A and B are shown apart, each in its own frame.
Chain A
Amino acid sequence: MRMFLAIVVCKLLRFVGRLVGKGSSLPGQYALKICPDILQKVKLPSYIIAVTGSNGKTSTVEMIAAILRKSGKTVVYNEEGSNQIEGVATLILCNSSLGGKMRGDVLLLESDERYARLSFRWFHPTHFVITNLYRDQLTRNGHPEWVYDAIAPAIHPDTTLVLNADDPLVSCFARGHEKVKWFGVDRCSISTEEHHGVYHDGARCPACGGAMEYEFYHYEHIGRYRCPACGHHRQDADFSVTSLDLEAGKLTIGGETEISLAFRSIYNVYNILAAWSAGSLAGVDRETMASVINNYILKNGRMVQFTLGRRHGTLLTSKHENSVAYDTNLSYIRAAKTPCTALIIVDSISRKYFTGETSWLWDIDFGLLNCGEVKQVILCGRYVNDLALRFDYTGIPAEKIVCYDTVAQAAAALRESGNEELYVVTCFSDRDKLLNLVQREQ
């Protein structure tokens, strides 16, 4: 009876909320008050796929949804990204009958560690995809081991873990867990024997603290590793990228399926592979998956094309406080084949909370911009001095670097002079400050 009432209230509030343009968490909040264990009582679909990780969650979930829908399945997922328990309750209950049965073949959830801890008490995913754990918004989330320790107790023994075999910390989730599927990228054109990047979070074995040995790295601490002290090592993958030519934008999955990349980055390759793995485990055939993933252009548009004066520009959305996201985009610029200008904006560090913390600038490998085709680097925003200070330690010649206090000043200068390609790297919190001053292309 309480369940019935909770579902009715949730649906009603959602209906009213939609009319007045309110968010999606309130209806779930009320439903949980009326019936605290409602998420345990509702009958959920036979596939519940959750995705977590520091980077690429949204992209991976979007591709999984596209694959499953193409195969004819009905997918319910938190497209609005409301991954708090209240938002998920709203999602589930609004898609349930009054008798408490959820419609749809698959419940797909983008989840973070806080969410995992709170929600998986009541129900647990059939498949839990964990893509990677890196330094991400340390001011808010804590470090990767902290996040690991928050997720690990939330994992139910019946859940099939779908893990990135190439991430030594993520691989630890498999310890003592029976149902595990692995995905990974074989040695390929981008593999290196030396570690690249400003810091090395894979230097020590996450299981025992011993010095880790790497056969090769793909990027950061992702690669083929083995700990001589305790034996923790990269597992053989169930789903593999068997060859990859990033420059040509081609990869092969499982030795036979060729995929073209719309966005040529190794991170995109991992997201595709994670989506492929989840799709396979949900029973989708290779041809269907390939047809969706081939040249897949993400809807959550992190890349924006525009014109500013005589320049063509590309904005690559990064996340402040996330050096891997920055390094991705800096590598992309480094691969440019024509002369270009790079614009870096740090004005508000976060749009969700206040902080003056700029330590993360030192974790970003800005030295990647020290290359022939990058003719000029423009820095701007409230924290331009911190940026300039960081760039003093990159080896980029000082005469290539120009600083402006505001985004508007930088945009005006770029409009006035030059016709080289412009690449902009900044965060969601700052990107509109530039995009409002340019002509966007569709």
Chain B
Amino acid sequence: MKVTILHLYPDVMNLYGEYANVAVLCRHLEALGVEADVQTAGEDADFSTADFIYMGAGTERKQKYVLAAAPRQAEGLRSAVERGAAVLFTGNAMETLGASVSSAAGKVWPGYALADFTTVETEKRSPADVVAVSTLWEAPAVGFMNKCSVTRGAATPLFSELSLGFGNEEEHGAEGYVSGNVFATHITGPILVKNPDFTDLLIRRLFARKNWTVPERLPVLPHEREAYAVTLRELRGRIGREG
């Protein structure tokens, strides 16, 4: 059993330790006896064999390098999605999945156009701890974001509301984007390390795509659940203090 992971632009879209998302997914797959074949690529990416495609956050400038190549890569990414590949774009990589990204000064870059939403950058940064209500799993998601943009028109958000953090359009509002196996959120960093339930969901989707039987109980790796519980406790304590 083998899963092919395509990690896009790991050299530039890796501002908050995002490589850990791929590493932790591999660990979970290996614990299930699945071989994870990780390929890395940038402008020259070949999407034809990928089961899972990941991109993390980068600086605003580095995201533009990605966007410069996005129109000619869009077809490859779209057909991978049509074949059932799972996609996860986090941080400002999320923005590239939409129709366009505009700078605060008004310059427009077309995106991968896998979704209709559009993003406009702002001159202010909004760093924030995040506690989010997922539309797909029960436990709240935790994490951090550091965005300087507003995304409009994401009709199917991944998170219905946030008790901490900035949503697509406003503070505490709906956040991210999900459609079938395509997942996107502005939460940065190792979101899969911090949210084992999200990792489990991706594993189930990958097994389903491969027509493998999903085990009833997925492996629980050391420290992950404990770390999640502490972060959630700390963040909730903060909500309590401020609310």
Could you list which residues of chain A lie within 8 angstroms of chain B, going by C-beta atoms?
A: 135, 138-140, 142-146, 198-200, 203-204, 206, 209, 354-363, 382-383, 385-386, 388-389, 392-393
Contact B16 A382 (CB under 8 A): no
- Flag the segment in B31-39, B70-78, B224-232 that touches A: B224-232
Contact B142 A356 (CB under 8 A): yes
Instruction: Check: B219 CB closer than 8 A to any chain A CB.
Output: no
Determine the chain B residues whose CB is within 8 A of the CB of A355 once the complex forms. Answer: 129, 144
Contact B190 A359 (CB under 8 A): yes
Determine the chain A residues whose CB is within 8 A of the CB of B224 once the complex forms. Answer: 389
Please encode chain B, from 1 to 41, with 1 for each CB lying within 8 Å of some chain A CB and 0 for all others: 00000000001101111011001000100000000000000
- Flag the segment in B60-68, B81-89, B197-205 that touches A: B60-68
Chain A nearest CB from B242 CB (Å) reads 9
Instruction: Check: B101 CB closer than 8 A to any chain A CB.
Output: no
B62's nearest neighbour on chain A, judged by CB, is A204
Could you list which residues of chain B lie within 8 angstroms of chain A, going by C-beta atoms?
A: 11-12, 14-17, 19-20, 23, 27, 59-62, 64-65, 125, 127, 129, 142, 144, 146, 188-190, 193-194, 221-224, 226-227, 230-231, 234-235, 238
Number of A-B contacts (CB under 8 A): 99
Q: Which of A146, A200, A392 contacts B59 (CB 8 A)?
A: A146
Q: Which of A139, A354, A392, A393 contacts B146 (CB 8 A)?
A: A139
Contact B223 A388 (CB under 8 A): yes
Contact A145 B61 (CB under 8 A): yes
Contact A362 B61 (CB under 8 A): no
Determine the chain A residues whose CB is within 8 A of the CB of B59 once the complex forms. Answer: 143-146
In whole angstroms, what is the CA distance A200 to B10 when docked?
A: 10
In whole angstroms, what is the CA distance A383 to B231 when docked?
A: 8
Q: Which of A356, A359, A386, A393 contacts B23 (CB 8 A)?
A: A393
Determine the chain B residues whose CB is within 8 A of the CB of A145 once the complex forms. Answer: 59-61
Q: Which of B12, B19, B61, B189 contacts A357 (CB 8 A)?
A: B189
Q: Decide: A359 near B227, CB < 8 A? Known: A143-B59, A389-B193.
A: no
Contact B125 A359 (CB under 8 A): no
6 shortest interchain CB distances as A-B pairs: A362-B17, A359-B189, A385-B227, A357-B144, A385-B226, A203-B11
Determine the chain A residues whose CB is within 8 A of the CB of B193 once the complex forms. Answer: 362, 389
Contact A142 B19 (CB under 8 A): no
Could you jot down 29 A-B contacts, CB within 8 Å?
A135-B15, A138-B15, A139-B127, A139-B144, A143-B15, A143-B59, A144-B59, A145-B61, A199-B17, A200-B11, A204-B11, A204-B62, A354-B129, A356-B231, A356-B238, A357-B129, A358-B194, A359-B16, A359-B189, A360-B16, A361-B17, A363-B16, A383-B230, A385-B223, A386-B231, A389-B193, A389-B222, A389-B227, A393-B23
Determine the chain A residues whose CB is within 8 A of the CB of B221 once the complex forms. Answer: 392
Chain A nearest CB from B239 CB (Å) reads 11
Determine the chain B residues whose CB is within 8 A of the CB of A386 once the complex forms. Answer: 223, 227, 230-231
Q: Pick the most buried of B12, B16, B60: most chain A CB atoms within 10 A of its CB.
A: B16
In whole angstroms, what is the CA distance A245 to B57 when docked?
A: 38
Contact B60 A382 (CB under 8 A): no
Determine the chain A residues whose CB is within 8 A of the CB of B142 once the complex forms. Answer: 356
Q: Decide: A356 near B234, CB < 8 A? Known: A139-B144, A139-B146, A146-B125.
A: yes
Chain A nearest CB from B127 CB (Å) reads 5
Determine the chain B residues whose CB is within 8 A of the CB of A144 once the complex forms. Answer: 59
A209's nearest neighbour on chain B, judged by CB, is B65
In whole angstroms, what is the CA distance A209 to B68 when docked?
A: 11
Contact A359 B61 (CB under 8 A): no
Q: Decide: A358 near B146, CB < 8 A? Known: A388-B222, A389-B193, A389-B223.
A: no
A137's nearest neighbour on chain B, judged by CB, is B127
Q: Which of B19, B27, B62, B238 contacts A362 (CB 8 A)?
A: B19
Q: Decide: A356 near B61, CB < 8 A? Known: A139-B127, A362-B190.
A: no
Q: Decide: A382 near B230, CB < 8 A? Known: A146-B59, A209-B65.
A: yes
Determine the chain B residues whose CB is within 8 A of the CB of A200 once the complex forms. Answer: 11
Q: Which of A146, A359, A388, A392 contacts B17 (CB 8 A)?
A: A359
Chain B nearest CB from A155 CB (Å) reads 19
Known: A138-B15, A358-B231. 20 other contacts (CB 8 A): A139-B127, A139-B144, A146-B59, A199-B14, A199-B19, A204-B62, A206-B61, A354-B238, A355-B129, A355-B144, A356-B142, A356-B234, A359-B17, A359-B188, A360-B16, A360-B17, A362-B20, A385-B223, A386-B230, A393-B23
In whole angstroms, what is the CA distance A358 to B220 when docked?
A: 20
Determine the chain B residues whose CB is within 8 A of the CB of A389 once the complex forms. Answer: 193, 222-224, 227
Chain A nearest CB from B229 CB (Å) reads 8
Q: Which of B60, B65, B129 contacts A204 (CB 8 A)?
A: B65
Determine the chain B residues whose CB is within 8 A of the CB of A140 once the complex forms. Answer: 127
Determine the chain A residues whose CB is within 8 A of the CB of B190 once the complex forms. Answer: 359, 362
Determine the chain A residues whose CB is within 8 A of the CB of B11 once the complex forms. Answer: 200, 203-204
Determine the chain A residues whose CB is within 8 A of the CB of B62 once the complex forms. Answer: 204, 209
In whole angstroms, what is the CA distance A199 to B11 when docked?
A: 7
Chain A nearest CB from B224 CB (Å) reads 6
Q: Decide: A356 near B129, CB < 8 A? Known: A145-B59, A385-B230.
A: yes
Chain B nearest CB from A201 CB (Å) reads 9
Contact B65 A138 (CB under 8 A): no
Determine the chain A residues whose CB is within 8 A of the CB of B231 once the complex forms. Answer: 356, 358, 386
Chain B nearest CB from A30 CB (Å) reads 28
Q: Pick the most buried of A142, A143, A200: most chain B CB atoms within 10 A of its CB.
A: A143
Determine the chain A residues whose CB is within 8 A of the CB of B14 once the complex forms. Answer: 199
Contact B61 A209 (CB under 8 A): yes
Chain B nearest CB from A397 CB (Å) reads 14
In whole angstroms, what is the CA distance A358 to B226 when docked?
A: 14
In whole angstroms, what is the CA distance A231 to B46 when docked?
A: 30
In whole angstroms, what is the CA distance A358 to B221 when docked?
A: 18
A145's nearest neighbour on chain B, judged by CB, is B59
In whole angstroms, what is the CA distance A283 to B219 when docked?
A: 66
Contact A138 B230 (CB under 8 A): no
Determine the chain B residues whose CB is within 8 A of the CB of A142 once the complex forms. Answer: 125, 127, 146
